[in-house]
């Protein structure tokens, strides 16, 4: 091959890897993170978000989200029985969903990858003949304000600030952009709280729980504690299932130390 052609090829690859285009065949892929056996990836690239989420992996995400919903429902139920308190509205969690950042993007760029719902929400949705939100919304990359907000506060020095929320009873529904689906409020869930998932030293997505209305602070605290365990690591092995699953992927998102992207603007 002529030297001039080789030089142009190198220049083109250099230009390509400096861009944020999805197709970057000349770009060096990230190394396997520490703590993961390299032989698990021998001879193959680690799957990326969203292209690496196969039907089988989507089913696994759904199973993990069901486990989180059952876990949260059980602990809140135990607290309700112990306290013998009753409320004039349903205070149990109604849905759990997850977004993951697109691989190769060091800024917030969410991909919707999973949703599960409580039995009463599912029954109402089926009465209205709406599709399953996990299937309907899988792969959508519509930006969500709360996603960017969760990334911004992911490394905040005050841990309670890691949790963000939306209270649509208070009129915050007007924040929704034209392209957003507003799946939670359409399902009758008027309050949600979330925090950033942290893996491989990055803020890599958000884990979100929705309620019919804002629950009492004691129950909200239980929900947020469980969310933190599943999104950031726990002494309870079963609560590490999501992070263990994500370890197989090349994850995107900002390094945790720089997750406050607003400060960098």
Q: In whole angstroms, what is the distance from residue 247 CA to residue 239 CA? A: 14
Q: What is the mean pLDDT of residues 236-258?
A: 95
Distance CA 115, CA 184 (A): 10
- Calculate what percentage of the chain has a pLDDT beyond 90: 67
Q: Is the dihedral of CA 143, 47, 97, 202 positive or negative?
A: negative
- Whether 242 has a pLDDT exceeding 70, the answer reads yes
Half-sphere exposure of 94 (CA within 13 A, CB side): 26
Residue 18 in this model has a pLDDT that exceeds 70:
no
Residue 101's DSSP bridge partners are 110
Residue length, the chain? 265
Render pLDDT for 24-72 as a digit per residue (tens, 0 to 9). Answer: 666 666 555 545 554 454 556 789 999 999 999 999 999 999 999 999 9
Which residues is 95 bridged to in the sheet? Answer: 117, 210
Average pLDDT of the residues of the chain? 85
Could you give the domains of the chain?
A: 55-264 (3.30.450)
Could you report the per-residue pLDDT of 131-148, keeping only the tens digit for each? 999 999 999 998 888 999
C-alpha pair distances (Å), 120 with each of 90, 159, 214, 240: 11, 33, 18, 27
CA of 260: how far to CAs of 4, 71, 99, 239, in Å?
A: 44, 30, 18, 26
Q: pTM of this prediction? A: 0.84
């Amino acid at each position: 091959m002529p030297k001039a052609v080789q030089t142009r090829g190198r220049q083109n690859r250099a230009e390509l890897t400096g861009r944020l285009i999805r197709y970057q065949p000349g770009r060096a892929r990230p190394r396997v993170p520490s703590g993961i056996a390299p032989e698990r990836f021998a001879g193959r690239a680690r799957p990326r978000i969203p292209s690496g989420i196969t039907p089988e992996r989507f089913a696994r995400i759904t199973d993990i989200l069901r486990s989180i919903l059952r876990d949260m429902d059980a602990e809140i139920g135990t607290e309700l029985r112990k306290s013998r308190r009753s409320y004039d509205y349903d205070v149990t969690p109604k849905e759990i969903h997850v977004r993951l950042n697109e691989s190769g993007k060091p800024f917030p760029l969410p991909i919707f990858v999973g949703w599960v719902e409580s039995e009463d929400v599912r029954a109402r949705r089926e009465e209205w003949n709406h599709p399953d939100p996990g299937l309907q919304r899988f792969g959508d990359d519509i930006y969500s304000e709360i996603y960017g907000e969760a990334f911004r506060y992911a490394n905040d020095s005050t841990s309670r600030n890691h949790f963000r929320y939306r209270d649509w009873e208070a009129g915050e529904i007007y924040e929704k952009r034209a392209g957003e689906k507003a799946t939670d409020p359409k399902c009758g869930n008027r309050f949600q709280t979330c925090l950033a998932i942290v893996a491989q030293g990055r803020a890599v997505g958000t884990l979100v729980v929705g309620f019919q209305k804002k629950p009492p602070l004691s129950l909200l605290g239980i929900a947020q504690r469980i969310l933190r365990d599943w999104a950031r690591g726990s002494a309870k092995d079963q609560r590490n299932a999501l992070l263990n699953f994500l370890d197989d992927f090349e994850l995107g998102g900002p390094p945790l130390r720089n997750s406050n992207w607003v400060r960098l603007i």
